[in-house]
Amino acid sequence: PVVRSLKETGRVEPELYDEVTIYFSDIVCFTTLCHHSTPMEVVDMLNDIYKNFDSILDHHDVYK
């Protein structure tokens, strides 16, 4: 809905939630990993990490 609203109207109406959780993560030595990897290897690694995050979130019925 956010992307659609941005495309159609150029704006998004704010929503109010009683509770939220914000997750931040850091990949230690990411710059070094990128330096020693091909761009495709970096993309594959990030995709694997995000898939794992999504799997964990799905397991816990997290709405994102």
pLDDT in tens, the chain (64 residues): 789 999 999 999 888 989 888 889 999 999 999 999 999 999 999 999 999 999 999 999 988 7
State the pLDDT at residue 2. 86
Measured distance CA(22)–CA(40) in Å, rounded: 28
- Confidence (pTM): 0.66
Please write down the HEC assignment for all residues of 2-61. HHHHHHHHCCCCCCCCCCCCCCCCCCCCHHHHHHCCCHHHHHHHHHHHHHHHHHHHHHCC
Domain boundaries, the chain: 2-59
Position 36 scores a pLDDT of 98
How far apart are the C-alpha atoms of 19 and 51, rounded to whole Å? 25
C-alpha–C-alpha distance, residues 56 and 62, integer Å: 9
